[in-house]
Structures are given as C-alpha cells and as structure tokens.
Amino acid sequence: MLSEKIEIKFFKVKPPLEYPPESGHFLRGNNSSPVAVVAMLNAPREEGKIPDEVEKLVRVAIESGAGLAGTLQTANIGIEKIITNIVSNPNIRYLILCGKDVEGHKSGEALKALIENGINDKRIVIGTNAPAVYLFNIPLEAIERFRKQITLIDLLNETDQEIIKKAVCSCYQEKPTKFKNYTLYDIGAYPEPAICCKITWKIEKPETIEVGN
C-alpha cells in the first residue's frame, strides 16, 4: 500500500491596502511572511543615518524572508508604531528582538515586558525597569491583539547576522524546527481580521500627562 503524501497548506490573508499604516525606519518584505524583526538602535541617529551594524541586521532580516524589519530607539511612540504595523497584518506571528538594548531608554526590555505582562489601568507597561513607558496613542484593542498575535523570539543584545538569519528562516519552515530554546514553524495567519489603526494623539512626552484613577 502506497503511503499517502500529506500536503500542508498554511492559511494566509491579504493585508489591507493601508498596511503598514505607520511610517518609520523599517524595510518591507513579503506580505505573507510570518515574522517581523526589531533591531535595537543603541546609537545616535545622525541626520537620519542608521549605523552600519544596525542597518545590516535589518537588511539581513529582510533578505532572509522577514515581512517587516526595522529599528527601535525610544519607547512609547516607537513601540506603538510597531504594534500598529504588526496588527494590520495577521500573517505576522513572530517578533524577533535583536541588537544591543538602548542605554538609558531600555526600549528592548520595555517591549519584552509589554508582551509578557501587558499594561496597567494607566496604560503603563508592567514589569520593566525602563523609564515609564506609556502607550496612550493607540486603542487598547490593538495592544491586546498584538500580545495575542505574536510570539516573541528574544535575541536582545544579539548582533550576529547569521543567528538573526537562522531565526528568521526557522519561522517560515513547514515543519517544526528547533532554534535555541524555541520550536518554530509557519503556523499561518492569526484567525481574526486585521486591525488597521494609526497613532492619533501623538503625545511625545506622556510622562507629563496626569492620568486619573
């Protein structure tokens, strides 16, 4: 008796025309890719120029198959932009965090804490030593959807391009693939429609705003 060959098909969706809704320092790859990459920018950005070592991390991520890859320097609006761009594409199911964390801001630590712990009733990220990280400018629905939609692959402080490349490639394999302490493969699109929203309030210094109980 001949064995039956099973073909695995992963459910994908077409992102809305507005995707990605927020501009920023990122590159766009395949819309069907299950992975996005955030490279920490632990250096001054001189006249819009990103340091070569950080730019290479972003480029190798896209060249390896990431759907989005970009930088994060400061928290608050920077994290909000990441959230809005990812929840507008249900195909993105993994977020790789890499590069040396930003001294002082600890934006990478803040992003990790958001994914793990969420925010409190004053919209402050829970469980981080980063300076107060507020997410005032986007709907609560988008924040919770982000936390449900993606799995974090924590490579914070990793700068080896080959490791980032391997992480990206592992995310779109058809069969479960071991990468460090993770088992990764393309699990298909998140089973709910895209949330397409933009940052509307744009409070640049949320620490100056008083939030009632």
How does pLDDT run across 155-190, given as a tens digit for each residue?
A: 999 999 999 999 999 999 999 999 999 999 999 999
**1 located within any domain:** no
Of 67, 68, 61, which Cα lies nearest the Cα of 25?
68
Alpha-carbon torsion 156, 161, 162, 166, what sign? positive
Give the DSSP H/E element, type plus range, for residue 133: none
Question: Considering the entire predicted model, what is its pTM?
Answer: 0.89
Higher pLDDT, 169 or 11: 169
Which residues, in sequence order, are CB contacts of 24 under 8 Å at separation 6+? 70, 78, 81, 85
Q: How many domains does the chain have?
A: 1
Residue 15 lies in a domain: no
Q: Domain range for residue 141? A: 26-208
* Domain membership flag for residue 127: yes
Quick check: 4 pLDDT over 50? no
